[in-house]
Every structure is written in structure tokens, then in C-alpha cells.
Amino acid sequence: MKRNLFAVLSVFVLASLMLAACGGGGAQPAAITIEGLKEKDFAPVKYEAPNCDYGGEFKSMEAVDESTVRFTLCVPDPAFPSKIAFSAFAVQPKEYLEFTGATGAILEQPIGTGPYYVAQWERGNQLIFKRFDAYWGEKAKTPTLVFRWGSESAQRLLELQSGTVDGIDNPAPDDFAVIEADPNLQLKPRPALNIFYIGMNNTYPPFDNEKVRQAIAMGIDRQRIVDNFYPAGSEVASHFTPCAIPNGCVGESWYEFNPEAARALLAEAGFPDGFKTKLYYRDVVRGYLPQVSNVAQDIQAQLKANLNIDAEIEVQESGTFLDNADSGKLDGLHLLGWGADYPDQTNFLDYHFGAGASKQFGEKFPDIVENLAKAAQLASDEERRPYYEAANNAIKQHVPMIPVAHGGSGTAFKAAVEGAHASPLGNENFAVMSIPGQDTFVWMQNAEPISLFCADETDGESLRACEQVTQSLLGYQVAGTAVEPVLAESYEANADLTVWTFKLRPNVKFHNGFTLDAADVVESLVLQWDAAHPLHKGNTGAFSYWSGLFGAFLNAPAE
């Protein structure tokens, strides 16, 4: 396999980041200039695994010519278009990826093809985007976009009411009625395509005992949590995946609340007097968890009252918490959740419980993994159903986590905002939003992005910011879930869905003026796929979406 086609600069100076004035006529002006960065001529390239024994989905990636990208898979994947459309698989210039490979510059200054580019990131304060006037599609309606953040929903609503921001994410459940009654505001409900769960890692005692995990599943009153802390449109989860996703709710429903049976099972497992543990979370509001600390305290109280389990609460910084969960370092219970990236079971179940899933829940369960692998290779929902039934039943038996709620959530805007929406995938598109006579749009979300290299991020705040700047071969319709062409103007697959060929849209420019070609696409993806690639670094180096959706990394180091 040909893995290293270039020499990575060991030292470089990012000497200049200049915002250039845009020219007229047929010119394609650069918005960002990086001193010393030069565009190279296209050269065909193919990365290929020796065989498929390494456990991942990809056999090869190839830049056939300037406008043709071909992926050959080890197994059929009917969900491949939905996966490759996700923002973690966005494209940046090959030359820029190489240029920044020895530094962390890529984390704060992405160079994409989107309607906005990053003008300035004032850490701890705000993130400023400017309209990219050489954008290949419809230009952004507002010249300047500003992201701000605040962890308290009351603060976000107050800023919206006072007019200092134009839109906010995740208003508190009690504020839905307030917003709807205010003629100066508009509420946009977001469908509950998410899951909030209580996770456990089976490599840490006593969570290595299946009866302990089952007892906790029976000993939590999930309906009480939804009734007290969630807005209208929320529901108790009968399965990990929302029922709106095909085959999401096939198989047995989750355990009913039964504290007597839970205590008996815990005693049978050897803990008649309960035990002590930790309850980890990050204090960041999500659509799947709108009142974080309140829910944590309620779960703590329920564990004590129903099971005599003493759970000490430990709040961690968001990035640290996600890294600790992903790397399997949380030795107690933890509160996390998931929002749909695309509407398919592979996005929910494969990412969390499949062969390439993270270490969040500890050792994987073969009966879950095997059924998910079989289902993922079948095209029709009817064919997939028995495997998802078996997988859901196995998840209920093994209890790697406890599914609690599918949370209703929403966004809120000034009444004057045109194009306002709430995306079911949480990827609101601000290029279509505007206020007449206003040249700046200010958005306030729950937290600051962790980084803007979203190949190696999983938090919604980072992903939403990246989605204004970088783009993938395909994408999702504004405020919808349907896949549509973006950087690729067309694509096709062979009969058994193992070879996917994409034709790129012509004359697409990156923010620095470089022209998109197939080598950019391949480089942006192969650095995630190949663990031995010199650019396989990112922020944490986990590249969780890649392994979660496409299985094992090529050349992964031995455990």
C-alpha cells in the first residue's frame, strides 16, 4: 500500500492570515491567504488495503482523475451515501492538510468550501464568520455570522429577549410557552431524533456483573425524569434508537420500573446493601438532556432510594469528559446522549455497539456486533428487521447502558428572522437566515466549540460551527434528513453496493482560492482511515466517527 506520498513539513510558520477584498467579474477571490502555501498540480492517487482482514469497511480510495473519486468497500453498505454526507467527512485542501500537519493550526482555522469562512476565533468569547463571496452555490444572506455561547438556558433566552442575539439553541422546557406567547419571538421545535442514556463500562467492577447492570436498569424511574425535566414532544425511550428511524423499535421494549425486583436482583448479584460509585457528566445542555444538573441529582437520589447505591457526582469539562468516555476511563455511571447525524440504525447502533465502537461501554458483546454487521449490509428495511430485533434484544439483556429519553428540543429566534429553522440533525444552516436591513447575525448555543477540525470531534457545538465552513461530497437538506449532492454533483454504485463513484462539481473553490479536486477528497478521508498516516492526529486522535461508522482503522496499532 502506498501511504506516504509526500513529505510533511516538520516546521512551518503560519505567518499571515489576511482577509482579502473580493473582486468582481469572473474572478474567484481568496478569502484566506496562508503565506508559503502553494497549490500543486493534480496527480492520481490510490490508497489500498492489502486485504479486508483488518476489520474495516474500506478496501481502497482512489482519485481516478481530477473530478472522479472511487471508493471500494469490503462489504455492501446501503447507508454509505448517508454516512459520507456527514460533516466529519468534510473536505479540505490536500496542500493545507499537509502544511498544517505538524501543528495544531488545523484545529482553529479550517479551509473549506462552504458559504462562510472563519475570520476570527476569540477563545472564550465569540467565533466570527464572514461570507465567502466566491462560494459555488447561493451566497450567504448575511455578510457576518457570529457564534456566542452560554451554558445556562435562562441566560440565552434573556439575551434573545433583550435583542443582543438573534437566535438561540435549546431553550429550557419551561420557556417554550414563554417564547410562543411573545410576539417578538418565534419557536422552532426540533424532532426528537436523539437518545439520552446512562452509560456503564463493563470492565470496571461492579459493572462487570450483568445482573448489576440489569438491576440498575429496573431501578430507575425513567418516566419520572421525562415528566419532571423534559419539554413537550419528549418521550420515555422504549429502545436506544427513536422509533421514527426504520427498525428503531423492533424487538423487546426496555425494562419497566420495578424497584423491588431491582433490589432482589442486586442482592442476587452479591450487593444486598448496594455499593458506592461515581456519576459523571458534563454541564452542557443538549436536546437529549435539557436540564443536566437537575437530572443528575434526580438519578443520584433514585439510585440511593431504590437501590441503596451511593453515587458521588463528578462534573467534568466537556472535552475532557468526551475523551474520557470514548477512551473507556469512566469507572462509574455516566450521562451522555446522541443526536441523529443521518436517519439510519447504523448511526445509532453501529456507532455505539458495533465492531468499531469506542471503549465507552467496555468490552463489546459479540451477539450485538454480529447482528449489526449483518443488518448493515442489507438494503431493505424488511431484510434488516430480524437482525435489528436480535440486536435490540441483546442490548436489553446485556445493558451496556440505560436508554432514558428521546428529548424534544428546539431553537428560538427573533420574529424578524427569515429562514429560521431547527434541524432534526442539529445542523442549522445559517447561510439561509437573515434579518432585513441587518448585516450581522448572532447565534448563541450551549457551549464553545472544542475545535474546528471536525473529523476528530463529536460534540454538537463543534460540528455546527464546522458545517458553516466545510462541506462533504454529499449533505443533508436544510432542516431535513434527505441526502443531496454537495461537492459531488452525482454518484453511482455497482449492483452489490461495494463500489461507489462520485463525480465532483466543477470549479469549486476553497476559501484560500485553491480548486477542489479528487486528491483533496481522498487526502481528507485517508488521514482518518489509516492510523499510520502522518496526519492521523487531529485533536485527540480518536477519530470516533470514522471507527464508529466504518469499522477498524487501517494499520491500527496493537491493543
Band (343; pLDDT cuts 50, 70, 90): confident
Per-residue confidence (pLDDT) for residue 211, from 0 to 100: 98
pLDDT of 14 higher than 80: no
CATH no., domain 194-406? 3.10.105.10
DSSP label at residue 424: T
Per-residue confidence (pLDDT) for residue 129, from 0 to 100: 98
What pLDDT, in 10s, does the model give residues 457-484?
A: 999 999 999 999 999 999 999 999 999 9
Q: Which residues lie across from 277 on neighbouring strands? A: 311
Cα→Cα distances 172→148, 168, 179, 294, 340, Å: 18, 11, 10, 12, 21
Residue 250, classified by CB atoms within 10 Å of its CB into exposed (0-12), middle (13-18) or buried (19+), is buried
DSSP label at residue 390: H
pLDDT of 43 higher than 60: yes
Residue 51, classified by CB atoms within 10 Å of its CB into exposed (0-12), middle (13-18) or buried (19+), is exposed
Smallest CA-to-CA distance from 88 within 542, 543, 431, 424 is with 543
Q: Which residues lie across from 70 on neighbouring strands? A: 62, 501
Per-residue confidence (pLDDT) for residue 175, from 0 to 100: 95
Residue 277, classified by CB atoms within 10 Å of its CB into exposed (0-12), middle (13-18) or buried (19+), is buried
pLDDT of 2 higher than 80: no
Per-residue confidence (pLDDT) for residue 104, from 0 to 100: 78
Mean pLDDT lowest for which of 196-210, 435-449, 545-559?
545-559
Proportion of the chain above pLDDT 90, given as a percent: 91
DSSP label at residue 513: S
SS3 track for 321-368:
HHHHHHCCCCCCEEEEEEECCCCCHHHHHHHHHCCCCCCCCCCCCHHH
Query: Which strand ranges, in their side-by-side order, compose the sheet holding 401-406?
Result: 235-236, 401-406, 194-199, 333-339, 276-281, 310-315
Chain mean pLDDT for the chain:
93
Per-residue confidence (pLDDT) for residue 23, from 0 to 100: 34
Domain ranges across the chain: 17-115+461-550, 194-406
Residues 161, 163: Cα–Cα separation, whole Å: 5
Q: Which residues lie across from 375 on neighbouring strands? A: none
Per-residue confidence (pLDDT) for residue 101, from 0 to 100: 80
Mean pLDDT lowest for which of 3-17, 129-143, 340-354?
3-17
Helix (H, G, I), strand (E, B) or coil at 218: helix
Query: Which strand ranges, in their side-by-side order, compose the sheet holding 185-190?
Result: 116-122, 126-131, 144-149, 440-445, 167-169, 409-414, 185-190
pLDDT of 20 higher than 90: no
What pLDDT, in 10s, does the model give residues 80-120?
A: 999 999 999 999 999 999 999 857 789 999 999 999 999 99
User: Is 113 within 8 Å of 470 (Cβ atoms)?
Assistant: yes
What pLDDT, in 10s, does the model give residues 315-339?
A: 999 999 999 999 999 999 999 999 9
Within 13 A of 541's CA, how many CA atoms are on the CB side? Answer: 11
Band (191; pLDDT cuts 50, 70, 90): confident
DSSP label at residue 21: P
What pLDDT, in 10s, does the model give residues 256-286?
A: 999 999 999 999 999 999 999 999 999 999 9
Only one residue has cell 436544510, namely 478
pLDDT of 439 higher than 80: yes
- Show the CA angle centred on residue 266, arms to residues 260 and 271, nearest 5°: 130
